[in-house]
Structure 1
Amino acid sequence: MANTMKAPTAHGNSGVPNGGVSYWYTSTELPKYRAPLPGDRDADVCIVGAGFTGLWAAFYLKRAQPDLRIVILEREFAGFGASGRNGGWLSAELAGSRALYAKSHGHEGVVDLLAAMRGAVDEVIAVAEAEGIEADIVKDGLLHVARNRAQVERLQETIEYEKYWGATEEGLVSLTSSELNNRIVVEGAQAGLFSPDCARVQPAKLVQGLAAAVERLGVVIYEQTTVEAIEPRLARTDRGVVKAPIVLRCLEGFTAGIKGQRRGWLPMNSSMIITEPLPDSVMGQIGWSGAEVLGDAAHAYMYAQRTADNRIALGGRGIPYRFGSRTDENGETQDWTINALTTLLRDMFPAATGVPIAQAWCGVLGVPRDWCATVDLDQETGLGTAGGYVGSGLTTTNLAGRTLADLVLRRDTDLTRLPWVGRRVRPWEPEPFRWLGVQAMYTLYREADRRENALNLEHTSKIARFANKVAGR
């Protein structure tokens, strides 16, 4: 069946084509819908959500035990959510406080978790190659830039912090402004930080390729099927009930849509814009001949990549949260956000000022109250979940999917002993306190960035430190 999602439309004062799920799909095409659930079914494992987490879990389960009957349920199409809308950073970054992870497993447990994340980057690349998935993957590393004195200080603090948790000299390299300019010329950049443990990816190509690989293994994906409730050993949908000894909830930012999960993981909004292809004259001024992905050390941070067809895709939080944990319609974001991201892009790359913005879109990511990711399976009820990646999910989903597979198969492995397994976090506050808290947090972060720039502060603004306390980070 053809996909009925709307194409991006230009409206509002930005005049930029907006929505259409994401540019990553616009540049290829929206996939045709798979068939919906045809009625009640029995399975060995039922997975709710056909994003990266659910697909990776199914992939590794089916490879380990081919006779498993695995059913995946998806409201839209595989890769509809953050899996097909993100910034394309296949990075080893892990969200959350290392100290919180260390509470249960100590320093060495966190070091092991971070090492597993670095290994997951190469694992995704290896699977893509083995399965013939063409997703514009190039492992050229990750650059963070500092554009004022306070950001320079934070980059230096990051180096010491990461070394404490096991980073090596080769894994985290400090760059002077001139060394940075040899890679990418960012206006006003004073210093940089480089990590080799990251690859650029076209995420929609990767998730669609993974979905096809999962189907080749014999996993059944039912789309156009809305899961209304998840209970021990069954998932209730608008098209029937799936009964299974194991039910895995893999919904990330859409978790709040499940009955009883409204205050679990907060659906945080993130938006992106992408330029038309950059002319050679512009690229000559910017550099960026490699495929490094780019971030900054601001509090309201940005993330970017240079695509395979020579565009700049840049994202940031924009308006971070919709009241009542609501999500977007067809990937459409707000004019304010489009204008803010466009201003930031042209501030960082003045040479690109005349290059039109080709499209804007948004999506949601899952944020736990303590900002730390979780993998869990209750063997008694058969209910499992993974998520809360806080925007660092492209690699984390692979590690989470492998870990879920080991938990389902009752294997005692290095993965099942990692400190994010079995974590319990408190729920978010009820509305309107949830909405007010998130809005206040990002207002404070933006004001801290403004003051650090305007006043040329040498140290991190006290406003940002207060915002961290509000956030519980």
Structure 2
Amino acid sequence: MTDSLLPRPAVEGSIRCDVAIVGGGYTGLWTAYALKQIDPSLDVVICESDISGAGASGRNGGWCMGELSGVRSLLHDPRHGEAARRLQNDLFAAVDEIGAIISKEGIDCEFKKGGALKLARLPAHLPRLREEVRSLHQAGFGEDSYRFLSAEESAQRMRSVPFAGALYSANVAALNPARLVRGLARVVERQGVRLHEQSPVRRIHSKQLETDRGEIHADHVVLATEGLTANLNRRRRRLIPLHSMMIATEPLSDSMWDSIGLAERETFGDWRRVTVYGQRTADGRVAFGGRGIYAYGSKARTRFESGEPIFDRVRGAMLSLIPQLESAEITHRWGGPLGVPRDGRTRVGRSSASGLFFGGGYVGEGVMGAYWIGSTLADLILEKRTHRTEADWLREDFPLWEPEPFRWMGVTAVRHLAEHLDRSEERGRFPSAWLSRLCARFLP
């Protein structure tokens, strides 16, 4: 695939449209796609501050997973459990829907539905693995969705080190995230969507956007800014940016892959609390990432120097799962911000205060989540009652994060606790149950 990264034209002068979308990543593009699928006559304009995919949409680990942040915590809720289970099944189906759209629209993004492995690498991981499988089965999901793998079954899929077991999630696909977002941008342009890049929005009103060189007047305005939401003064405390930090190895030999596994391009991670994630890419590399730190004042970054220490930590985490990569060259290093709500729950709706539509808060699950949220936003904008709009418990706006310095203090303290518990388990210890519960309560 050849794809020019030259920016599309910026907003110039005064523009009139039906729907204006702030943000040219997954959420904005999927919203535009869904709107045009429902009503091709709609005039839709997307306003992107950089180029499409410059944020988290082009810089993530490429897991297209049938999950939405916060849904699992509601599966056993007396009020919302039944609706949450229906939604979870919709999310499973959404992975296949994305695959079908990718095929239909000719987007070359290396989509492969091989499932995901959450591996029990340490003795302390196994009880959490068993409890998670029990909880999911108790909620009504069968082994066709979530399955416990024994040590022997795990080794059939990934054998880089001896694993005690794994949770296999069937409804997960690996893909190239940058190819998806760039391809989707071309698709919506073919549909007639106007995509303006290098057009940071300076002021937002309920039906008007102002940029450096122009303005957009619209019947409806959608905020699709995710990890960069803190750059908008009116939304600064709704989502905070945590950074996904990624590395990729050189292409590996066939014999190396024989020693590792992942023949179906299963995505993989383990049960440590500071999340890590990897995949076997279509060209035979390992792409591997970890959850980065929070910067004081919700400062979000999309560009990093290759020598920054965080990349050594990501490489160390990768080697704990695949020690065979000790001598493999790291050819790529990158990172980007993901959006995290105060309560860790994805939301979609319309602000009663401003009249603006919003959606996001994926906590790293936005490759599929943005498709579902974008489709829901289209339904809400066009006032269509669908199975997606039934989940009214997702309609409330994001709760506010604390002001600084308390926000930084809280997020940093929880991360340090998670790292402390992970180190204890690396030493063969089983941390106290109450500390583990405390960490789970606050860790995004």
Match of 2:218 in 1: 244
Alpha carbons of 1:393 and 1:105: their partners in 2 closer, same or farther (altered >3 Å)? Answer: farther
User: Please, which moves more after superposition, 199-208 or 324-333?
Assistant: 324-333
Asked if the contact 2:149–2:168 (Cα under 8 Å) also holds between the matched residues in 1, the reply is yes
Equivalent in the alignment of 2:388: 415
* Other-structure match for 1:220: 194
In structure 2, the CA distance between the partners of 1:460 and 1:219, relative to structure 1 (3 Å rule), is farther
Partner of 1:373: 346
- How many angstroms does 1:251 deviate by? 0.4
Q: Counterparts of 2:104 and 2:234 in 1: how far apart (Å)?
A: 40
Aligned to 2:140: 166
Q: Which residue of 2 aligns with 1:11?
A: none
Distance 1:333 1:245 in 2: 44
Code of the residue aligned with 1:209 in structure 2: it is G
Report how far residue 347 of structure 1 moved: 2.3
Q: In the TM superposition, what whole-angstrom CA distance separates every residue of 1:211-259 from its partner, at most 9, and x where no partner exists? A: 1110111000010101012211111211222111100000000001012
Residue 386 of structure 1 corresponds to 359
SS of 2:278 mapped into structure 1: strand
Question: Where does structure 2 lack aligned partners over 5 or more consecutive residues?
Answer: none
Q: CA distance change for structure 1 residues 415 and 378 in 2, over 3 Å: closer, same or farther?
A: same
Further displaced range: 263-272 or 327-336 = 327-336
Letter in 2 for 1:429: E
Q: Which runs of structure 2 are paired with 1:6-85 in the superposition (5 Å)?
A: 31-85=5-59
Q: Cα offset for 1:207?
A: 0.9
Q: Are the equivalent residues in 2 in contact too, given 1:117–1:399 (CA < 8 A)?
A: yes
- SS of the residue aligned with 2:98? helix
The one-letter code of the counterpart of 1:113 is L
The answer as to 2:136 corresponding to 1:133 is: no
TM-superposed CA distance for 1:57, in Å, is 0.6
Pairing 1:317–2:291 present: yes
Which amino acid in 2 is paired with 1:46? A
Aligned to 1:13: none
8 Å Cα contact 1:452-1:460 kept in structure 2: no
Task: State yes or no: 1:88 paired with 2:54.
Answer: no
Task: Give the structure-1-normalised TM-score.
Answer: 0.89
Q: Which residue of 2 aligns with 1:205?
A: 179
CA RMSD of aligned residues (A): 2.0
Q: Is the 8 A contact 1:267 1:364 kept in 2?
A: yes
Is the CA contact (8 Å cut-off) linking 1:245 and 1:382 kept in structure 2?
no
Partners of 1:102 and 1:64 in 2: CA distance: 34
Query: Is this contact kept in 2: 1:154–1:460, CA < 8 A?
Result: no
Give how far 1:93 is off. 2.1
Instruction: Decide which of 435, 438, 444 is 1:463's aligned counterpart.
Output: 435
Q: Is the deviation greater in 94-103 or in 334-343?
A: 94-103
1:113 and 1:419 in contact (8 A); partners too: no
Structure 1 SS opposite 2:349: strand
Task: Give the partner amino acid of 1:440.
Answer: A
Which residues in structure 2 correspond to 1:55-454 (within 5 Å)?
Answer: 55-96=29-70, 98-99=72-73, 106-318=80-292, 320-332=293-305, 335-378=308-351, 382-454=355-427
CA contact under 8 A between 2:55 and 2:302: conserved in structure 1?
no
What SS class does the counterpart of residue 398 from structure 1 fall into? helix
Query: Residue type of the partner of 2:63?
Result: W
C-alpha displacement of 1:186 = 3.4
In the superposition, relative to structure 1, how do residues 380 and 348 fare at CA in structure 2: closer, same or farther (>3 Å)? closer
- For residues 76 and 200 of structure 2, the distance between their equivalents in structure 1, rounded to whole angstroms, comes to 37
Kindly state the Cα deviation for residue 121 of structure 1 after the two structures are TM-superposed.
0.4
Q: What is the deviation of 1:280?
A: 2.6
Q: Using a 3 Å threshold, how does the CA distance of structure 1 residues 214 and 97 change in structure 2: closer, same or farther?
A: closer
Partner of 1:46: helix, strand, or coil?
Answer: strand
C-alpha contact (below 8 Å) 1:43/1:69 kept by paired residues = yes
C-alpha separation between the residues in 2 aligned to 1:378 and 1:432?
27
**C-alpha displacement of 1:293:** 0.6
Aligned to 1:3: none
Partners of 1:425 and 1:38 lie apart in 2 by 32
Q: Distance in 2 between matches of 1:84 and 1:460?
A: 39
- CA shift for structure 1 position 346: 1.8
Per-residue deviation at 1:101?
Answer: 8.2
Deviation at 1:282, TM superposition (A): 1.8
What's the TM-score once normalised by structure 2's chain length?
0.95
Deviation at 1:77, TM superposition (A): 0.8
Work out the CA distance in 1 between the residues paired with 2:76 and 2:393.
Answer: 9
Q: Match of 1:422, as an amino acid?
A: R
Shift of the 420–252 alpha-carbon distance from structure 1 to 2, 3 Å rule, reads farther
1:105 and 1:227, CA in 2 relative to 1: closer, same or farther beyond 3 A? farther
Q: 1:97 to 1:213 in 2, by over 3 A?
A: closer
1:28–1:194: structure 2 CA closer, same or farther, 3 Å change rule?
A: farther
Q: Tell me if the contact between 1:271 and 1:333 (Cα under 8 Å) persists in the aligned partners.
A: no
Shift of 1:102: 7.8
Partner SS, residue 245 of structure 1: strand
Residue ranges of structure 1 left out of the alignment (5+ in a row)? 1-26
Q: Which amino acid aligns with 1:42?
A: R
Instruction: Count matched residues.
Output: 444
Secondary structure of the 1:323 match is coil
- How far has the Cα of 1:79 moved from its partner? 1.2
